[in-house]
């Protein structure tokens, strides 16, 4: 059914091998390089220039056409502007999830299927669907599911948890059944060894190797405020802006030898509450309020008839962290988008603005954006969440 595929070529080894596998399996393949950011680094070099050269190198080696699309404006409006607004509000956003949601699996997806009139898209993500790596078992009316790939260490379903489920129906993940080590070996065999030496991109793409505090100063003005000890309520230092700090981060306060860590941020008073010690109870949370639930599994748990029951599943808020058991409650009977997540095991530095991503043993079920994370032992705000649960 699917014969023509547009593959997103990033200039990295994963998308290159994805394109190779597609061609080897008989698909007509078109490569598309997405330009999402347009800024020069401190050395005067555009960070995307080398990626484009590597994308051209890949397509020349594989004998496929490469085209370019420019999403700089859309990325700025949908991802970067939201990123800045969140930091000004004391949140810590995840631009990778937003990029997949708004750019790769929306604009790029529509460009490939509607404008270019191709059958499907493919990416170098380590992810999997129940239709197979090349949609070989696709059935038009069968529900699609986002599954954990073979390489569980490289698993990128976390970053795909915010996309629209329907886009998965016509998305191929050629690397779903391969380990990263196997992908590198394939790259060498098909003449793309150069890409295996390329350093993998980590962190926020538009920040690059720069110090984050210096980067964010370019866009958000400093606003000094107090560091306040969460136990004694005493002022223990000053900061230059709550946007420069995130929950769980260590604060090196010159007047104190003991280590303080960010526990909470109060935007209204521009106060950062800090806790003494890496394992201070206020740094842990087991009650999470999250909004904008995006459900990827076949059936939304709170939209079917008589679906008032809590849902037991697994949770993570950072893609490298182990999964923990949790229970999801709907906030109210008439609201299917806002949820309360109760963790079986408290976790450290659960951060507002990040995403609660939900799993079964084999599947990424969906995600919701964290608004508040509280501990039920001694936290002065936890009664608010308890009352929400009791009234659900």
Distances (CA, A) of 36 to 76, 103, 334, 389: 8, 8, 38, 41
Tokens of residue 190, six digits = 């098909």
> How far apart are the C-alpha atoms of 286 and 328, rounded to whole Å?
12
> How far apart are the C-alpha atoms of 212 and 39, rounded to whole Å?
15
Name the active-site residue from 46, 59, 190, 205.
205
Beta strands 355-359 and 363-374 are antiparallel
Give 379-385 contacts, CB < 8 A, sequence gap 24+: 379/282, 382/287, 385/287, 385/289, 385/340
Distances (CA, A) of 140 to 108, 136, 249: 22, 12, 47
Based on the residue annotation, tell me whether 364 is a catalytic residue of this protein.
Answer: no
Residue with tokens 């190797």: 209
Which region, left, alpha or beta, applies to residue 127 given φ > 0 means left and ψ of -120 to 50 means alpha? Answer: beta
Name the active-site residue from 99, 313, 326, 364.
99
376 close to 287: Cβ distance less than 8 angstroms: yes
DSSP letter assigned to residue 243: G
Distances (CA, A) of 387 to 294, 352, 391, 392: 24, 20, 6, 9
Based on the residue annotation, tell me whether 205 is a catalytic residue of this protein.
Answer: yes
Nearest to 357 by CA among 304, 312, 317, 303: 317
In angstroms, what is the C-alpha Rg of the chain? 22
287 close to 381: Cβ distance less than 8 angstroms: no
Q: What single string gives the DSSP state of each residue in 48-65?
A: HHHHHHHHHHHHHHHT-E
324 close to 315: Cβ distance less than 8 angstroms: yes
Catalytic residues: 99, 205
């Amino acid at each position: 059914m699917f014969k023509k595929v547009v593959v997103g070529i990033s200039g990295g080894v994963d998308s290159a091998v994805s394109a190779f596998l597609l061609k080897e399996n008989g698909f007509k393949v078109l490569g598309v390089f997405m330009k999402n950011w347009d800024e020069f680094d401190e050395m005067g070099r555009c960070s995307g220039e080398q990626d484009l050269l590597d994308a051209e190198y890949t397509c020349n080696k594989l004998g496929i056409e490469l085209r370019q699309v420019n999403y700089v404006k859309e990325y700025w409006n949908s991802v970067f502007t939201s990123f800045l607004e969140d930091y000004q509000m004391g949140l810590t956003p995840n631009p990778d999830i937003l990029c997949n949601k708004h750019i790769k699996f929306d604009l790029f997806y529509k460009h490939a299927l509607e404008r270019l009139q191709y059958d499907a898209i493919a990416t170098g993500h380590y992810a999997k669907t129940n239709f197979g790596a090349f949609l070989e078992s696709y059935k038009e009316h069968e529900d699609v599911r986002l599954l954990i790939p073979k390489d569980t260490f490289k698993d990128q379903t976390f970053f795909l948890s915010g996309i629209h489920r329907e886009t998965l129906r016509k998305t191929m993940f050629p690397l779903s059944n391969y380990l990263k080590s196997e992908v590198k070996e394939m790259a060498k065999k098909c003449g793309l060894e150069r890409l295996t030496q390329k350093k993998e991109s980590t962190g926020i793409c538009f920040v690059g190797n720069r110090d984050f505090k210096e980067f964010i100063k370019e866009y958000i003005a400093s606003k000094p405020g107090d560091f306040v000890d969460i136990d004694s309520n005493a002022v223990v230092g000053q900061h230059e802006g709550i946007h420069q700090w995130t929950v769980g981060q260590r604060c090196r306060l010159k007047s104190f030898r003991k280590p303080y860590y960010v526990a909470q941020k109060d935007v209204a008073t521009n106060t950062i509450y800090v806790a003494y010690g890496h394992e201070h109870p206020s740094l842990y949370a087991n009650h999470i309020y999250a909004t904008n639930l995006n459900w990827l599994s076949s059936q939304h748990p709170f939209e079917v008839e008589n679906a008032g029951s809590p849902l037991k599943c697994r949770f993570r808020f950072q893609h490298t962290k182990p999964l923990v058991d949790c229970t999801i409650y709907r906030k109210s009977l008439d609201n299917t988008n806002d949820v309360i997540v109760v963790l079986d095991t408290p976790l450290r530095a659960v951060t507002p603005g990040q995403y609660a991503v939900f799993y079964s043993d084999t599947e990424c079920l969906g995600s919701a954006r964290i608004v508040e994370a509280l501990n039920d032992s001694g936290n002065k705000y936890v009664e608010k969440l308890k009352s929400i649960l009791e009234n659900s």
